[in-house]
Amino acid sequence: MQATKIRAEEHLGLVTHIALKYKENAYNLDDIISEGRIGLVKAANTFDESKGFQFATYASRCINNEILMFFRREKKHHGFSLDAVRVNDDGDEYSAAEFMEEYGYYDEYTVEDEAEIANLRAVIARLKERERTIIELRYFGEKTQTEVSQVLGVSQSYISRLEKRILNELRCKLECRL
């Protein structure tokens, strides 16, 4: 028990380092650090040296997961947030704001041109029903790829592949319309 406590105390700086990745988020940095510390304690309590990993590697994953779970809990209680960081099942980080900004539909929490929103809606509306459902659930319904896969009755990896293809298709269609 004492070794677990010492291990956690030695890696407190790791929590701050990871939490700072999310400082641009809509949440208070102290809250993010607190959640990260919970992840660190969980990591210290469940770390198994026989697996061959370094503690810092394992703890980083646990801290990050705990912070992301905090964001998900907060979103469910406070509604949709364009700033909340999301990580798809491939480990890529993104937010709805980044998605919209990448395509020119989002700027500093406001949309400058109603025509741009209409353009985005028109492109999404022309997707096949299943594709539209995936985009709506992922980006507007705040569902994880796993949750979407359960709704559609397919594997998460299939949803991941479809989502990437759909986003590339949207990018192409939007660039052609601009």
Buried-state track 154-166, b at ≥16 Cβ within 10 A, e below 16: eebeebbebbeeb
What letter does residue 23 receive in the DSSP assignment?
A: T
Q: Which residue has the higher pLDDT, 4 or 86?
A: 4
Could you read off the pLDDT of 76-108 as tens digits, one per residue?
A: 554 444 555 655 556 666 665 565 555 444 443
Classify domain 2-79 at the CATH topology level. Answer: Rna Polymerase Sigma Factor; Chain: A (1.10.1740)
Could you read off the pLDDT of 135-172 as tens digits, one per residue?
A: 888 877 778 889 999 999 999 999 989 988 888 888 77
**Looking at residue 67, what is its pLDDT?**
87
DSSP-derived secondary structure for 71-124: HHHHHHHH---SS--EE-TTS-EE-HHHHHHHTT--BTTB-S-HHHHHHHHHHH
> Is CATH 1.10.10.10 correct for 93-177?
yes
**Looking at residue 162, what is its pLDDT?**
92
**Which pTM does this prediction carry?**
0.44
Please list the residues that pair with 93 across neighbouring strands: 87
Q: Which of 53, 44, 35, 62 is nearest to 6 (CA)?
A: 44
Q: Which residue has the higher pLDDT, 4 or 10?
A: 10
How far, in Å, CA of 135 to CA of 70, rounded? Answer: 23
CATH 1.10.10.10 maps onto the chain at 93-177
**Looking at residue 84, what is its pLDDT?**
56
Q: What is the mean pLDDT of the chain?
A: 77
The mean pLDDT of 38-54, rounded to a whole number, is 87
CATH 1.10.1740.10 maps onto the chain at 2-79
How far, in Å, CA of 150 to CA of 118, rounded? Answer: 30
Burial class (CB in 10 A: 0-12, 13-18, 19+), 125: exposed
How far, in Å, CA of 151 to CA of 129, rounded? Answer: 14
The mean pLDDT of 41-49, rounded to a whole number, is 87
Q: Give the pLDDT band of residue 31 (cuts 50, 70, 90).
A: confident
